[in-house]
């Protein structure tokens, strides 16, 4: 059965992006290339990517993907990508397998799982989208790279509440300047 895994990086104070929605702070951390390379093993088992429109728009703009659609392969390869957005005018990278979804996560979760086949679903972000999957009991794991940076504000890592009975630490280690932590998400008890 495919798992839905929220794999992301965060600042030490729990932010995915700064107040201007930028991830530039992340790429300035020493050892970032090692952390990305380490994620290749996880990505080898991923067949579907899911992200919110803010994450998608940042990637479009930062990497100039509409002008250079060939760069899409660097980030996503041939994986099916679902983008949750309420915007009707969201541009699509030419040649990429992207489907824009709107409405509640619950309405689309089964189709996303079906599209994954035997692989896993990489929930890229943002945090509110991950929280929506968690709320309906469809978030299986959280893999987080913690960077030695504080942002003082910005997009939160995971704006949801989990008590200690819901998160089980499975693995933790250091890669360069990053702390890598992997948690299984357990079902909520009634």
Q: Mean pLDDT per 10-residue run, the chain (190 residues)?
A: 94 93 85 74 94 92 94 90 91 95 96 97 94 95 95 94 92 93 88
> What is the number of alpha carbons within 13 Å of residue 143 lying toward its C-beta?
18
pLDDT for position 156: 95
Dihedral Cα 73, 76, 78, 79, nearest 10 deg? -170
User: Alpha-carbon distance 121 to 115, whole Å?
Assistant: 9
Domains of the chain (ranges, CATH numbers): 31-121+128-185 (3.40.430.10)
Q: What is the 3-state secondary structure (H, E, C) of 97-146?
A: CEEEECCCHHHHHHHHHHHHCCCEEEEEECHHHHHHHHHCCCCCEEEEEE
pTM of the model: 0.93
- At 28 the pLDDT is 86
Q: What gap in Å lies between CA 46 and CA 122, rounded to an integer?
A: 6
Q: What is the pLDDT of residue 148?
A: 95
What are the start-end ranges of the E strands in the chain?
A: 4-11, 15-17, 46-52, 80-84, 98-101, 120-125, 141-147, 155-156, 167-175, 178-185
The tokens for 143 are 């893999």
Cβ–Cβ < 8 Å for 132, 13:
no
């Amino acid at each position: 059965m495919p798992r839905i895994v929220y794999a992301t990086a965060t600042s030490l104070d729990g932010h995915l992006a700064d107040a201007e929605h930028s991830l530039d702070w992340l790429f300035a951390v020493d050892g970032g290339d090692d952390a990305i390379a380490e994620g290749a093993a996880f990505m080898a088992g991923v067949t579907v990517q899911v992200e919110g429109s803010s994450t998608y728009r940042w990637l479009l703009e930062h990497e100039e993907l509409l002008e250079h659609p060939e760069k899409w392969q660097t980030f996503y390869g041939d994986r099916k990508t679902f983008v949750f957005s309420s915007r009707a005018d969201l541009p699509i990278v030419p040649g990429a397998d992207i489907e824009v979804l709107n409405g509640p996560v619950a309405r689309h979760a089964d189709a996303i799982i079906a599209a994954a086949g035997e692989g896993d679903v990489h929930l890229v972000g943002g945090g509110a989208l991950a929280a929506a999957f968690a709320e309906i009991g469809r978030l299986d794991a959280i893999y987080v790279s913690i960077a030695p940076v504080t942002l003082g504000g910005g997009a939160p890592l995971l704006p949801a509440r989990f008590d200690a009975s819901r998160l089980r630490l499975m693995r933790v280690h250091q890669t360069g300047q990053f702390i890598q932590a992997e948690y299984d998400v357990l079902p909520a008890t009634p």
